[in-house]
Structure 1
């Protein structure tokens, strides 16, 4: 589901005349209202850009704070021209616990490198990815975390610090952002499950519901591909099945 917009800034408050420099980050509280532990995937979706001062690539730091873990470092996947940057690792939240996620500009830092002019904006997507279960020789099973939508409370915020020309903090502000649903209470539909059986890859691909819209993470795809060589399946058969399923990729064997 889409949570809210986001905007990261490290630049002058005004493009004209003397002005404080604004350092603005994005913060999101996620409260798990269910009686079971849930694992969430958070992505930041932007326009694809080539300007290194307008991309999230190598320009952010991220932290996840939970009741039992204080400001655990996280990172974003993706490259300079990517349009989707996913937080790694996923966010595990215990029953009735609230996690806080913070995404902040990290480059250009420190203040000594002024003048800086960084900004990036887009929207935030929250997913409830399927859990992976290994069942060799049967294959890999992707299981929904719940058999119904998960109830969560979502509170997104902008937090800004204002620095003068000498890097001294003049002021700080925080403001709540409107959620895409219009309310803090949301329901996230668990991602669908399926069984990936390497010996029967063509049949497995046909059985995956809504294949075109299936939102598999890089971790999910890597896990599926990693078991293929050991399964004894011919790559020619795999590539034929991928083509038949409309997946624009092919595999080849290389010595390392």
Structure 2
């Protein structure tokens, strides 16, 4: 995808941008380095992207940090990914809070290491009052798992008489998802020239505009985000209707 010049920067930004951050391993392999080196550089790309999203007026930025399927990777790589979360929060949380970023984490927390769960809870609590940018990190997350967990909670409420089965519709079901109360993504970006959702935000992305780029995640920056948003701004969103609908 071509990168825009400064004069071609998007005139307006979508309210909610989601990103599948892919390509760390390939980026490292191209340089003869281990995959863990690519993941470390991917954290730097995340820093740049969070800053860029705030500058461009994005209100919600959701990033796919660690999937439920990532547990299948070598133990050394999984451990390195957890270490990077620890490092990112330790180094950046105060800066994010001072810049008005609210940190939220979606995904299954049961079974996480106690210190990881504490890090997540602390980041959410410390940034709770902020409203400039919502940084949503999908960690130990899978779209199918999220839907299954939501269904279990809904079934329990039906059994308890809190909701009637005839009242169940997409809106009521959505209230049981990890993302309850947030707008669905307007734009979903996937890096590294891959063309699939990989079990990410399956419910929420029903009418999301998808942009795929061959940029590997460690190379992603503000210009790459601007380019994706510029492509998004060319789209006519109809949400199943015949006439374009304003975002």
The question of a shared fold, defined as TM-score above 0.5 by the shorter chain, is answered with no
TM value normalised by structure 1: 0.28
Bigger share in helix:
2
Structure with a larger share of its residues in strand: 1
Larger radius of gyration: 1
TM-score by length of 2: 0.29
